[in-house]
């Protein structure tokens, strides 16, 4: 199954079940991120896990893990270049600003996500010495 087919299945399940999906993402907080290709200009929707900010209900964090691949996902570059996007969380759809989280704050957020979902710790181990997995803050605009 291609990545496009895999994503299409997740998107359809997400929308049919008010933001809930099954399979490897059963019970995980999921978001659909709408973004435009910085080169192609095409519209894309990328499903991904997120973590809500503990103090700010308008902010969620997404992780450019790409399952521990040596390169960042294309969506990461699209979001950083645009500085804005639209997201679907549950049954709600709204615009967000995009900001990369760095330094100690990035470490704290990523480590919390990795403690909640150990796959993220595995991704970090795979990318050690190659790249640091970026963390993006998506804040309701």
State the average pLDDT for the chain: 96
Q: Which residues contact 125 (CB under 8 A, 6 or more apart)?
A: 68
pLDDT tops 90 at residue 3: no
Count of Cβ atoms closer than 10 Å to residue 123 Cβ: 22
Which pLDDT band holds residue 41 (cuts at 50, 70, 90)? very high
Axis crossing angle, helix 119-127 with helix 103-116, rounded to the nearest 10: 130
Q: Which residues contact 28 (CB under 8 A, 6 or more apart)?
A: 21, 49, 117
pLDDT for the residue numbered 18: 95
pLDDT tops 90 at residue 4: no
Provide, rounded to the nearest whole percent, the portion of the chain with pLDDT above 70. Answer: 99
pTM of the model: 0.95
């Amino acid at each position: 199954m291609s990545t496009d087919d895999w994503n299409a299945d997740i998107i359809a399940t997400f929308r049919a079940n008010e933001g809930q999906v099954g399979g490897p993402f059963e019970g995980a907080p999921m978001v659909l991120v709408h973004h435009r290709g910085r080169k192609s200009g095409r519209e894309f929707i990328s499903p991904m896990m997120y973590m809500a900010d503990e103090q700010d209900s308008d902010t969620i964090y997404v992780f450019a893990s790409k399952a521990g691949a040596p390169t960042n996902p294309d969506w990461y570059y699209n979001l950083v270049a645009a500085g804005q996007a639209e997201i679907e969380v549950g049954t709600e759809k709204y615009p967000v600003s995009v900001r990369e989280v760095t330094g100690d704050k990035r470490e704290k957020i990523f480590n919390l996500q990795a403690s909640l979902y150990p796959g993220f710790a595995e991704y970090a181990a795979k990318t050690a010495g190659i790249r640091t997995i970026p963390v993006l803050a998506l804040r309701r605009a």
